[in-house]
């Protein structure tokens, strides 16, 4: 059973569990959780199994954001043209007109042209709304290339982490919610009554579960095996360039050896009773 931020009886109100994960975007903490690991095995802190689990958690977050990006673009990305004449020539073809949905945004890069929406008469209609602020067609900038990091901590000290550079739309990266609760509707709610922004958010999280709970559950599993032989502390591998490298997490070795000995002594004592 996963226990999150549960304060034991008698502990002060500022009590925090020993273990923690942080998901950061740039220098900003987006999601942070303290939790307990039942049957914790200290040997796990030096294992490749924990490192792989942390990498998998990072990939899980990345996949979640990619999926939301795909849905966001499906429902929000406007059709883009350089000029009004280019737009008109495109929609002269019947097969192109059939791809459009009512209300779909159309953007013309020419600054003198208005924005358009696909109208009821199957043709572009000028509108005052802005369907795009350049997000979908302007070149990427350094602000768009953001570093995402997922890290696991023991008593405030980073044990291992994984990071990647993600380029998600501004709307997606500014509304990250790993619990996937924002936008969820109850059985009594009617999606057709939502405004467009709320409807897009609803579609982005539709069918998704809370991945915060799954992340903690996976970390707890990786750190709670009572079979020490299950953990890989030393491992040699060949890099893509053909070089032999060794995995040897020595940061925690001295502490881990002491804790393992204490745990083994305790287990032996219990077995003698």
206-228 pLDDT, tens digit each? 989 999 999 999 999 999 999 98
The percentage of residues in the chain with a pLDDT greater than 90, rounded to a whole number, is 39
Q: Residue 243's pLDDT band (boundaries 50, 70, 90)?
A: low
Of 113, 118, 129, 111, nearest to 91 (Cα)?
A: 118
Write out pLDDT tens, residues 121-160: 889 999 887 766 667 767 777 777 889 999 999 999 999 9
What would the two tokens of residue 153 be?
């901590």
Q: What is the pLDDT of residue 16?
A: 79
Stretch 29-49: mean pLDDT, rounded? 93
Residue 120 has pLDDT above 70, yes or no: yes
Structure confidence at residue 149 (pLDDT):
96
**What is the distance between the alpha carbons of residues 64 and 259, in angstroms, rounded to a whole number?**
37
Q: What is the DSSP letter of 139?
A: P
Whether 209 and 217 have beta carbons less than 8 Å apart is answered as no
What does pTM read for this prediction?
A: 0.73
Helix, strand and coil content of the chain, in percent to the nearest 5, comes to 35, 25, 40
pLDDT at position 1: 43
Residue 4 has pLDDT above 60, yes or no: no
């Amino acid at each position: 059973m996963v226990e999150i931020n549960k304060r034991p009886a008698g502990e002060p109100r500022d009590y925090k569990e020993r273990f923690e994960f942080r998901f950061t975007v740039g220098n900003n903490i987006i999601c942070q959780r303290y939790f307990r690991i039942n049957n914790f095995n200290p040997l796990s802190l030096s294992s490749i199994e924990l490192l792989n689990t942390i990498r998998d958690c990072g990939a899980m977050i990345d996949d979640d954001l990619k999926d939301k990006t795909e849905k966001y673009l499906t429902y929000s990305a406007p059709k883009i043209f350089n000029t009004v004449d280019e737009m008109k020539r495109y929609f002269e073809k019947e097969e192109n007109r059939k791809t459009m949905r009512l209300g779909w945004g159309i953007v013309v890069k020419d600054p003198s042209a208005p924005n358009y929406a696909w109208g009821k008469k199957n043709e572009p209609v000028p509108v005052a709304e802005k369907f795009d602020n350049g997000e979908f067609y302007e070149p990427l900038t350094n602000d768009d290339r953001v570093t995402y990091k997922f890290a696991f901590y023991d008593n405030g000290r980073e044990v291992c982490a994984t990071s990647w550079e993600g380029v998600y739309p501004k709307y997606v990266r500014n509304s990250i919610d790993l619990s996937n609760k924002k936008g969820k509707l109850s059985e009594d709610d009617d999606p057709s009554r939502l405004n467009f922004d709320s409807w897009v958010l609803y579609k982005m999280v539709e069918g998704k579960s809370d991945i915060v709970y799954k992340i903690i559950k996976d970390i707890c599993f990786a750190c709670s095996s009572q079979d020490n032989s299950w953990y890989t502390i030393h491992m040699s591998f060949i890099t893509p360039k053909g070089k032999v490298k060794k995995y040897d997490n020595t940061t925690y070795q001295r502490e881990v050896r002491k804790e393992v000995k204490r745990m083994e002594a305790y287990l032996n004592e219990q077995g003698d009773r």
